[in-house]
Amino acid sequence: MQDLKGKVAVVTGGASGIGLALCERFLEEGMKVVMADIEESALKRESKRLAALGGDVLGIPCDVRDPEAVKSLADGTLAHFSGVHVLCNNAGVAPVGPMLDTSPDDWRWIFDVNVLGVAHGVTTFAPILLEAGEGHIVNTASEAGLASNSLLGMYCASKHAVVGLSESLYRELADTGVGVSCLCPNLVDTQIFESERNRDDRKELLPSQTATIAPLREAVSAIGIPPSKVSGDVVEAIKHNRFWILTHDTTEAVAATRFHDLKTQSNPSDPYQLLSENPELTVFFETKT
């Protein structure tokens, strides 16, 4: 899909962060955009802003945890634009803290959004793309889907699931005309670590969770790359039918530390500590092209 002009893109989590940047970049490419988000105030504001700038934009409230809501999203897209070509399963949440301080409700929330939300998008929209004979699906995972991290156990588990889902989907859709990409960003300047704002129960964070999330919010603000950089990477991946979308140069080496551990039969390493103590591994893990 090298020419995106006139095509229709659906983006979940489209009213902020990476999702909003994707909507903006797709409009720059001449696409029509359906912004879907659970945060209705932000959705109304941003869809109105983009439309005022000349974008062909449709905002549809959608809770990706609900398969019927995702079906309504598809129905609304087809009714308004008569087609869809790109789906970005981008909605996600990131609760943090020690796993022993988590509850069943915590696990249910993150997997309902991060994993089932992607699955609902795939099973609803992929048949539409297949019938049309063209299209592309982008699933937002994370570098945390390629390497584990303490205090992000639930998030890592959910994003590992998205990576596995995406790899399997790629194989299932091979040679159908429908491409698949898996987006695995490191820190991006978004509100991902403030996702509790959209949680139904709005429960108060435990002290251990607050202590964990505060430095992550600071790091995102201080060194997170702009979402516009990520959206550019996504567009390039769609145009060139590339599966992996890695936003940071360190991700390949970080992911490869797992295979270093497997090869040496070592217990799980902290990727960043291993690489800082063994800088030669960074060179060893570089992809040769």
Percent helix, percent strand, percent coil in the chain, to nearest 5 = 55, 15, 30
pLDDT at residue 287 is higher than 50: no
In the numeric block, the tokens 């590339």 are attached to 242
Q: Choose the catalytic residue: 155, 192, 271, 275.
A: 155
- pLDDT (tens digit per residue) in 58-94: 999 999 999 999 999 999 999 999 999 999 999 999 9
- Contact indicator for 62, 73 with CB cutoff of 8 Å: yes
- pLDDT (tens digit per residue) in 148-187: 988 899 999 999 999 999 999 999 999 999 999 999 999 9
The residues spanned by each domain of the chain are 8-248, 250-289
Task: Say yes or no: domain 8-248 is CATH 2.40.170.20.
Answer: no
Cα–Cα separations (whole angstroms), residue 121 to 24, 45, 142, 210, 259: 21, 24, 18, 32, 31
Under DSSP, the state recorded for 268 is: P
pLDDT of residue 288: 40
**What average pLDDT does this structure show over 14-29?**
98
pLDDT of residue 217: 77
pLDDT at residue 194 is higher than 90: no
67-76, long-range: CB within 8 Å, 24+ apart, which pairs? 67/120, 67/123, 67/124, 70/117, 70/120, 70/121, 70/124, 71/124, 73/10, 73/12, 73/34, 73/36, 73/124, 74/10, 74/124, 74/125, 74/128, 76/34
- pLDDT (tens digit per residue) in 84-125: 999 999 999 998 888 999 999 999 999 999 999 999 999 999
pLDDT of residue 48: 98
pLDDT of residue 269: 87
DSSP H helices in 65-140: 67-81, 104-111, 117-132
Which among 91, 86, 29, 17 is positioned nearest to 55, based on CA atoms? 29
- pLDDT (tens digit per residue) in 35-58: 999 999 999 999 999 999 999 999
* 272 a catalytic residue: no
Q: What is the 3-state secondary structure (H, E, C) of 48-61?
A: HHHHHCCCCEEEEE
pLDDT of residue 208: 74
Looking at the chain, the whole-number percentage of residues with pLDDT higher than 70 is 94
Q: How far apart are the first and last CA of the chain?
A: 24
pLDDT of residue 80: 98
Q: State how far the Cα of 77 lies from the Cα of 89, in Å rounded to an integer.
A: 15
* Main-chain dihedrals φ then ψ at residue 37, nearest 5 degrees: -160, 150
pLDDT at residue 206 is higher than 80: no
Q: State how far the Cα of 87 lies from the Cα of 122, in Å rounded to an integer.
A: 8
pLDDT at residue 282 is higher than 60: no
- pLDDT (tens digit per residue) in 228-267: 999 999 999 999 999 999 999 999 999 988 988 999 999 9
- Contact indicator for 245, 33 with CB cutoff of 8 Å: no
pLDDT of residue 96: 84
For residue 209 the two structure tokens come to 């969770």
Q: Which of the four pLDDT bands, split at 50, 70 and 90, describes residue 132?
A: very high
pLDDT of residue 100: 93
**What average pLDDT does this structure show over 262-286?**
76
pLDDT at residue 285 is higher than 60: no
Q: What is the mean pLDDT of the chain?
A: 92
* Main-chain dihedrals φ then ψ at residue 71, nearest 5 degrees: -65, -40
For residue 28 the two structure tokens come to 């720059």
